[in-house]
A and B are shown apart, each in its own frame.
Chain A
Amino acid sequence: GESVGLHLPTLSVQEGDNSIINCAYSNSASDYFIWYKQESGKGPQFIIDIRSNMDKRQGQRVTVLLNKTVKHLSLQIAATQPGDSAVYFCAEWQAGTALIFGKGTTLSVSS
């Protein structure tokens, strides 16, 4: 069935490096995507979102890129810090009510 998924389950980076977390989606009708960060013992925390009429959106140290041609989105974190260590989920908004989440990528930042 159609779903949101992630390319890699884990990503390890050094403090100060840039991180790129990828996500592939299969529902070509999707028009809204969100990245969430989930730290151990906590609920998902909103990071940044993007609509399908955009290719790129920037926040503080984070950038989301959307490539509708290949149905791919990515989250870029600049100057990664130890506090960025968490599980990152992309989510697709399903018309009506629900967020559809992928399985997540665990980001580990070593200093």
Chain B
Amino acid sequence: ETGVTQSPTHLIKTRGQQVTLRCSSQSGHNTVSWYQQALGQGPQFIFQYYREEENGRGNFPPRFSGLQFPNYSSELNVNALELDDSALYLCASSRTSGRAGETQYFGPGTRLLVL
């Protein structure tokens, strides 16, 4: 096990609603990254937080936002849910940011279904 946990495991929402997903990183890891994994695809980078500030962002609209807290927990918020937001959402923690070779440890993911 990686020591990274996520909640909830599954979630069903309707189009237009808002959702908050949670992640608890490994102790001592000050960087958390969020990924979206559509069915049958590889994970796609959403954004990364380092010491509670956004540190990089992929090709996702502003309705995807996040927070990171000092206690190694973090949140992914998605507003105005769309059907295409249905996916597995993964968080990954690492000791630091922006350095090749820094292993990212993934949680089990939250499966979101938007109806």
Known A49-B101, A96-B98: A42·B108 in contact at CB below 8 Å: yes
> Which of B4, B41, B45, B109 is within 8 Å of A99, CB to CB?
B45
Instruction: Give Cα distance in the complex from A36 to B107, angstroms.
Output: 13
Known A98-B45, A101-B42: A46·B100 in contact at CB below 8 Å: no
**Residue ID in chain A nearest B57 by CB atoms:** A97
Instruction: Give Cα distance in the complex from A97 to B97, angstroms.
Output: 7
Q: Which of A94, A98, A104 has the most chain B CB atoms inside 10 A of its CB?
A: A98
Say yes or no: is B33 at the interface (Cβ < 8 Å to chain A).
yes
Instruction: Give Cα distance in the complex from A89 to B42, angstroms.
Output: 7
- Chain B interface: which size bin? 20 to 34
- A43: which B residues are within 8 A, CB to CB? 2, 4, 90, 92, 106-109
**Residue ID in chain A nearest B97 by CB atoms:** A97
Please count how many residues in chain A sit with their CB below 8 Å of the partner chain's CB atoms. 27
B103 and A101 within 8 A (CB): no
Digitize A21-41: 1 where CB-to-B-CB distance is under 8 Å, 0 elsewhere.
000000000011010100001
**Residue ID in chain B nearest A106 by CB atoms:** B40
**Residue ID in chain A nearest B102 by CB atoms:** A93
Q: List 14 A-B contacts (CB under 8 A).
A: A31-B100, A32-B100, A32-B101, A36-B106, A43-B109, A45-B2, A45-B106, A49-B101, A97-B55, A98-B45, A99-B45, A99-B92, A101-B35, A103-B42
- B107: which A residues are within 8 A, CB to CB? 43
Known A96-B56, A97-B56, A98-B56: A51·B43 in contact at CB below 8 Å: no
A101 and B56 within 8 A (CB): no
A98 and B42 within 8 A (CB): no
Instruction: Give Cα distance in the complex from A46 to B106, angstroms.
Output: 9
Q: What distance in Å separates the Cβ of B108 from its nearest Cβ neighbour in chain A?
A: 5
Additional A-B contacts beyond A43-B106, A96-B98 (19; CB < 8 A): A31-B100, A32-B101, A41-B108, A42-B108, A43-B90, A43-B92, A44-B43, A95-B100, A96-B56, A97-B56, A98-B33, A99-B43, A99-B92, A99-B104, A101-B44, A102-B42, A103-B41, A104-B40, A104-B41
